[in-house]
Amino acid sequence: MVPVDIRDFFAASAGVAGALIGLLFVAISVSAERLSREESGAQVHRIRALASFTAFTNALAVSLFALIPGHKIGPTSVSVSGAGMLFVAAALLSLIRLHLVRWAIIRDAVFLVGLAVILVCQLIEGLGLIADPGNSGNVDTIAILVVCCFLVGIARAWELIGGPSIGLRREVTALVRSRHSAQAPAGEAPSDGPRGLPGDRADSQVRAELTRQRWLARRTPRPLYGGLHRAHAPVPG
């Protein structure tokens, strides 16, 4: 049975979950063209959308059934956690099927594993409430897991709409590169040649080409028109 002092929390979380699901529907309708593509990137976006929907629906169902008098929160937690784990298993199989090794997909897999951990904990607490309906500690834990579902759903929705992200690894790499560029010698100019070709090597190739052209110019015989003209010219008297 849900304690009286926590019913206000479930009432508020039900309203928040309903509002977030409505906003998620708007985001999905705006990104419908991107989600309907057949490429692998579109599948990742579909997984993000379904992960957000699963997390928000989980929080909404648990919160609403917690407000109904009686022992409804335990069976509801078991039901929604079982359905959520089926989705997580299908999503992980889909990522494995893509055969893509990218940081974005690895990050999505980490979020899915985190969602699976939340669902397993929710399943255990729900079974505990079914066995002992008067245990208020299980209800408090389920309330905390509802908050975790909100956080996971919001993070997945942010990735779905393409929100900006500032990663620690990316910023540290950019900082190191900027420091390295600032400490480079002042007289060393960047080469305009191909990427990865040092400037001195490009200059040596240019000098070698000029030397070859000069050598060919020396080896080429000059026309004799001038000499013939001088040979047939009349000798002045």
Whole-model pTM: value is 0.67
Tokens read off for 52: 């957000």
Domains of the chain, residue spans: 4-164
Q: What is the pLDDT along the chain (237 residues), one digit of tens a residue?
A: 788 888 899 999 999 999 999 999 998 888 777 777 766 667 778 888 889 999 999 999 999 999 998 888 999 999 999 999 999 998 888 877 776 656 667 777 888 899 999 999 999 999 999 998 888 889 999 999 999 999 999 988 887 887 776 667 667 777 887 777 776 554 454 444 444 444 445 556 666 777 777 767 776 665 544 444 444 445 454
CA dist., res. 68 & res. 7, Å (int):
10
In angstroms, the CA 146 to CA 12 distance is 11
Per-residue tokens: 214:
């000069």
